[in-house]
Amino acid sequence: MSGQSEAGSADYVLRIAATPVEIAPKHIVSTITYNGQFPGPLLRFKEGHPVTVEIHNHTDTPEQLHWHGQMVPTDVDGAAEEGTPYVPAHGMRRITFTPQPAGLRFYHTHNRAGADLYAGQYTGQVGPVYVEAKNDPGNHDREVFLILKEFEPSFSQGGDMAQDFLPPAEVKELKTTGETAMKASLAKGMPHGYEVGYRYFTINGRMLGHGEPVRVKQGERVLFHILNGSATEIRSLALPGHTFRVIALDGNPVPHPAEVPVVWLGTAERVSAIVEMNHPGVWVMADLADDDRGHGMGIVVEYAGQKGKPLWTPPKPFHWNYARFAKLDATAPEPDEVIAMTFAKQNAADHGFNLWTINETAFSSGSMTPAYHLHQGKRYRISMRNASDDIHPIHLHRHSFEITRFAGKPTAGVMKDVVMVGGYQEVQVDFVADNPGLTLFHCHQQLHMDYGFMTLFDYV
């Protein structure tokens, strides 16, 4: 079932409107939200059970609501590039679809923001979705959802994103290409392209120390569902004295759950991890970046009966590698076809903004021509080479992919819908063309996707 139904009542109603959000006592920001709250309400769906959702738009801007990570048809997916109709300004769309697959998904706006920091993912249009599996043993005591999000963005020029959390796997040739292009641009007198920074950082819409703590009991096994709802930033999260047993990435169970001292999430990535509460105290669970944590990116975890000032200690340096959770000694099946892509940056080329290209082509939102014609049922390998120094959290709509090469090594079994491609690194992902129609592929960093970093697949 799909499409817009004419009659009948909705299972869920979402209202897009400008609203104040209190991120700390008497500290109120203005943004666009779902149902007047940030994050938007948690929508719990049952895998395979059709739902009807009414989306009301109380703003002056036509909106797209994207069902991130779900295998849905193009008319409900929520991307203009795929042909999803807009939710008209001061209008409504009622959609019906069958939630799938099970796991942590989310919904968010898919509007282009461009130079407008009050639009698109810079707003508070983010909400979690949990699709319940038909059979879920649920080996945990309870679930806590954590939505990581910044507010009050502004532009800057330059500024490096730390990426030493990824295993070092730079490809020399890509580095030479990227650095040569950058030097040539600067030599012509070009400034660095714009980047975005933020004033305030929140978890579940509250700055560190200003929200309700996560209250736990010793011995409890808490399943954290963590979502990076940022428009542009990579986030980390650690809880002093505790480890995360990662059981799912982007909502999909991993073949090999493993314990890590810190989790990292590119924009739109999700991590589901169990923390065994075995270290009583009052702790700061937060981002490793001192500046971001200092401006709110954290939440207090408080054991029953414990009091005092929440404590933070940084974990030891640690490399985040998706392959840690992969199938042991397994190799992915050979693809039917390989799609080779090189990502590149044209420094400050579009009115001071960096212009992004895939195989030397920046996506045109005017023509929206599909660049890749696929065949249903075939297995494709996307071989991505990043000739820029930035990290790109790459997202494929309406499909999951398997990571088949990361940090210079083959891997298998980790299914995701976003993957971070580090500066000058190579990553390969495989997917099966099993959900026909226009399919958007893009960098989830708002500033990158808005300035060319997109392409369209098509198949019938």
| Interface with Cu ion (CB under 5 A) | 392, 443, 445, 448
Nearer to Cu ion, 295 or 392 (CB): 392
Contacts of 382 (CB under 8 A, 6+ apart): 338, 339, 341, 396, 401, 428, 429, 430, 431, 441
In the complex, least distance from residue 453 CB atom to Cu ion, rounded to whole angstroms: 5
Residue 432 half-sphere exposure, CB side, CA atoms within 13 Å?
7
In the complex, least distance from residue 242 CB atom to Cu ion, rounded to whole angstroms: 31
DSSP letter for 436, please: -
In the complex, least distance from residue 78 CB atom to Cu ion, rounded to whole angstroms: 20
Decide if 83 contacts 74 (C-beta within 8 A). yes
In the complex, least distance from residue 432 CB atom to Cu ion, rounded to whole angstroms: 25
What distance separates the 2 farthest-apart alpha carbons in the chain? 63
197-232 in b/e burial notation, b at 16+ Cβ within 10 A?
A: ebebbbbbbbbbebbebbebeeebebbbbbbbbbbb
In the complex, least distance from residue 24 CB atom to Cu ion, rounded to whole angstroms: 31
Nearer to Cu ion, 225 or 448 (CB): 448
In the complex, least distance from residue 132 CB atom to Cu ion, rounded to whole angstroms: 32
Nearer to Cu ion, 237 or 454 (CB): 454
Nearer to Cu ion, 40 or 452 (CB): 452
Decide if 199 contacts 358 (C-beta within 8 A). no
From 362, 349, 361, 341, select the one nearest 174 (Cα to Cα). Answer: 341
Nearer to Cu ion, 77 or 233 (CB): 233
DSSP letter for 323, please: G
Which CA distances in Å does 371 have to 84, 320, 454, 456?
18, 32, 10, 6
132-149 in b/e burial notation, b at 16+ Cβ within 10 A?
A: eeeeeeeebeeebbbbbb
In the complex, least distance from residue 343 CB atom to Cu ion, rounded to whole angstroms: 7
d(CA 127, CA 78) in angstroms, rounded, equals 14
Nearer to Cu ion, 211 or 393 (CB): 393
Decide if 308 contacts 282 (C-beta within 8 A). yes
The letter for the amino acid at 118 is: Y
In the complex, least distance from residue 356 CB atom to Cu ion, rounded to whole angstroms: 7
d(CA 425, CA 427) in angstroms, rounded, equals 7
Residue 258, class by beta-carbon neighbours within 10 Å (0-12 exposed, 13-18 middle, 19+ buried)? middle
Nearer to Cu ion, 388 or 411 (CB): 388
Nearer to Cu ion, 98 or 267 (CB): 267
Beta-ladder partners of 156: 195
Nearer to Cu ion, 332 or 344 (CB): 344
In the complex, least distance from residue 387 CB atom to Cu ion, rounded to whole angstroms: 12
Dig out the tokens for 36 from the structure.
Answer: 């007047």
d(CA 67, CA 398) in angstroms, rounded, equals 9
